[in-house]
Amino acid sequence: MLVERRKRVVELEDNKLLEMADILCHGMPIVRPIFECVKVFVRLHKQNVFTYARHPLDLGTQLITADQISSRMNDPLRERIVLEALSTMEESCKELWPFAPGSSSWVLLEILHPYILINGKQNAPTIIFRKATRLSFEGAHSSTPLIEGMFNKLKNNIEKQDMLVAGFSFRVDPTVELNNVSGTGVFTKLFSEDKAYDKEAKSEFIDELLECNFDIPLHQNPGFYFSFEGEMYSVRSNKFQSSSKSSKKKSAFPPLPISGFIK
């Protein structure tokens, strides 16, 4: 799989967790919300047409069309939604694409739709351009200042258009600035004397941090991810994870091949 791996906040050692918690509670950091979505990587092939990837075997010089990548969905409606989204992107973004044909830089797309969900709240039809990156055959992601600069150019091109095409809105790397939760007790609860840093304290800290920043019930909130000391971490309530497992058992729809739990 080409999905970037992220660590969970609860995996940190106590001293690092305290440092991170201080930033999350008081530093008002910029974080990236997680969406339930279908993720597809796209680049401009040397033939000057878009090619797609969801697996390391898709990388290289071969051309994989929107029809081919969408046909891998394990549900006919999801297949149609993904194909419509990619076709819309191709028609709208070809002239805006900053990377040259044959470039090894991929752009990560996240396709949102009311039908594409497991347990979260329904999302409006949206194509998110999350980031540009290079991909190794092991699935590792890497970037350079040049790639980031080109992605910013794409971002500016899209935002200038204020695009809404065929029912899909276009967004580029949406972010959220966390609130300063000083005085709420969220931070101090993490290291209170009776249960300092134990599993319950960590879980309560994450739940209250999410509730202070998002108007979404915990069981429907996939959380967010952010960077700390060069590593990517995810923050998500156990209530969402437990509810997701329950929903998968009860759902009449098959799960997505790649979940959008962000990534």
Which of 11-15, 44-48, 64-68, 74-78 shows the lowest mean pLDDT across its residues?
A: 11-15
Q: Where are the domains of the chain?
A: 7-29+178-245, 38-172
pLDDT at 261: 37
Q: Give the three-state DSSP class for 219.
A: helix
pLDDT at 256: 38
Mean pLDDT over 68-87 rounds to 95
**Domain 38-172 grouped into CATH 3.30.470:** yes
Q: Which tens digits make up the pLDDT trace of 217-235?
A: 999 999 999 999 888 899 9
**Alpha-helical segments (H) within the chain:** 14-26, 66-70, 76-93, 145-161, 186-189, 199-211, 238-250
Res. 262: pLDDT tops 70: no
Res. 99: pLDDT tops 90: yes
> What is the band of 260 on the pLDDT scale with cuts at 50, 70, 90?
very low
Identify whether the C-beta of residue 68 lies closer than 8 Å to the C-beta of residue 124.
no
Pairing verdict, β 224-228 and 30-33 = antiparallel
Q: Which tens digits make up the pLDDT trace of 101-155?
A: 999 999 999 999 999 988 888 899 999 999 999 988 777 888 999 999 999 999 9
Our measurement of the distance from residue 65's CA atom to the centroid of its chain's CA atoms, rounded to an integer in Å, reads 23
pLDDT at 243: 56
pLDDT at 86: 97
